[in-house]
Each structure stands twice: as structure tokens, then as C-alpha cells.
Structure 1
Amino acid sequence: MACRISELVIDCADPGRLAAFWSEVLGYVELGREDDGSIEIGPPDVGFGGPQPTLVLSPSSDPRPAKLRLHIDVNATDRDQDAELQRLLALGAGRVDVGQTGTESWHVLADPEGNEFCLLRARLQPL
């Protein structure tokens, strides 16, 4: 028997802002809100427990200590990498320099709170 990732929890200063950003990036919808201010987002019509993990944006006032030890990679499903890069930048992502050489096949970006993620080149089929 094995485990699978069901949800990813991201501590953040503004769960509403990040929930809106990541919902647009991933095509997710809000699944629920907790009394502590956490917001869970996930695939429409599937929610928690489906083939894709949900994201829980959890409020935290703790400062981010340094470069994250874990980051999210995303791939476009309905356009090429350049078009998806432009879409993500328009949504509020920013470019990040983590020491790339400029020859990588991916783009390093950050969400509106500075959490790094990568846009990979390969185009995936939507689920």
C-alpha cells in the first residue's frame, strides 16, 4: 500500500489573495473556508480526494525564513509555454532569479507573496 499527495498547505499572509491567484493559475475553485481563515481550493466538480491535490492557503504572520525547500512546478494544458508565461505574469506572478543560466527550459516565477514556482516547457493533457 502507498500514499498519495491529497493536499498541499501553503502558509501565507493573505489566504484570499493567494487562493484567487492559484485558482486562476490552476483552474481551481474555492472548496471551503475554515474559522481560522484557511481557504481550500481544488478542481471543480472533484474537490478533495480527486486525482489532483487540493491547496490549503493557511494564514500565518511568520516571516518566510529563506528560499523554500519545496516548490510547485506547473505545465500549460491548452497553450504553449510562452503564452502561458504571459498569462501567469498578467495574473500577478513575477520573475525570480535563483541563479539560472538563461538556457533552462523552464521559467522560475513567484506568486504574489514571493513563493517560487516553475513553469515547465512540456504541455500536458488536461485531466
Structure 2
Amino acid sequence: MACRITELVLDCRDPDRLAEFWCAVLGYEVIGHEPDGLELGPPGGRFGDGSVTLILAQTDNPRRGKLPLHLDVSPAGTDQQTELARLTALGARPADVGQTGEESWVVLQDPEGNEFCLLRKDVGAG
């Protein structure tokens, strides 16, 4: 028997605003309302169905600075530069965490400053 990662929790000030961003980035929708936030997942999905969901937990004091864990996203059915333009249009901003410029990924931050990386490899649209 083993465990599975079923959800990732991201502390934030404004779950509704961040849900709009992350739903557009991942193609997710709000699938649950928590007392202090929202649960995002694939359309029609629900907790434990095999997909990792994202919990946006409201807090007045989200942690700032480099976190020990971050999200990596990959383009799905497009190239990295096209996806970078889309993410930037959605509100992502470049982030500097000490990268050299030689990396194959791009470091970004969401509208609340949470870092994530856009990887190079297209994982396909399906």
C-alpha cells in the first residue's frame, strides 16, 4: 500500500482572484468551496479521482520568499514561448530566483507572487 498526492495547498490572500488565474493556466475549474478557500480541479473532477487538485487557502499572512516547494507546468499542445506569452497575458510575471539564463525552464510568479516554472517540453494537448 502507498500514498498518493491528492491535493496541493497554496496559501493566498484572495482565493477568488487566484482561482481565476490558476483555472485559466491549468484548464481547471472550481470544484469545491472550503470555509477558508477554494478547491480547483479538472472539469467534472472530484477529490480522490486520481487528479491532483489545488486548494487555495485564504490567509492574511501568506508566506513570502522562496518556498521549498513550487509548481512546474508544461505546455500542452504548444511550444514554451507561445505558452509563456499566454501565461503573461493571464497575469504571470517573471521571477528571479538566481537562475543563470541557461535553464530550459522559465521562472514565473502568479498574481500573488507564488513562484512556478514553465518547462520546455510539450506534453500534448490530450
Equivalent-residue separation in structure 1 for 2:79 and 2:64 (angstroms): 34
Residues 111/82 of structure 1: CA separation in 2 closer, same or farther (3 Å cut): same
Match of 2:48, SS state, is coil
2:39 matched to 1:40? yes
1:20 aligns with 2:20: yes
Instruction: For 1:46 and 1:30, locate their aligned partners in 2 and report how far apart those are by CA, in whole Å.
Output: 10
Q: 1:84 to 1:43 in 2, by over 3 A?
A: same
Letter in structure 1 aligned against 2:7: E
Alignment correspondent of 2:63: 64
Decide which moves more: 88-97 or 40-49: 40-49
- In the TM superposition, what is the alpha-carbon distance from 1:51 to its structure 2 partner? 3.0
Q: Number of residues paired by the alignment?
A: 126
Q: Which residue of 1 aligns with 2:93?
A: 94
Percentage of matched positions with identical amino acids = 58
- What is the CA–CA distance in structure 2 between the aligned matches of 1:46 and 1:59, rounded to whole Å? 22
Asked if residue 110 in structure 1 is aligned to residue 119 in structure 2, the reply is no
Give the drift of 1:126: 4.2
Counterpart Cα distance in 1 of 2:45 and 2:101: 38
Matched to 2:19, the amino acid is A
Q: Which runs of 4+ in 1 moved over 4 A?
A: none
Q: For residues 39 and 88 of structure 1, what CA distance do their matches in structure 2 show?
A: 21
Once the two structures are TM-superposed, the CA of residue 50 in structure 1 deviates from its matched residue by: 2.8
Q: Deviations over 1:3-28 (max 9, x none)?
A: 11101111100000111100000000
Specify every segment of 5 or more residues in structure 1 that has no aligned partner in the other structure, as ranges: none
TM-score, structure 2 normalization:
0.94
CA deviation after TM superposition for structure 1 residue 103, in Å: 1.0
Q: Contact conserved, 2:71 with 2:115, CA < 8 A, in 1?
A: yes
Give, in whole Å, the separation in 1 of the partners of 2:103 and 2:86: 20
C-alpha spacing 1:25/1:65, structure 2 compared with 1 (3 Å)? closer
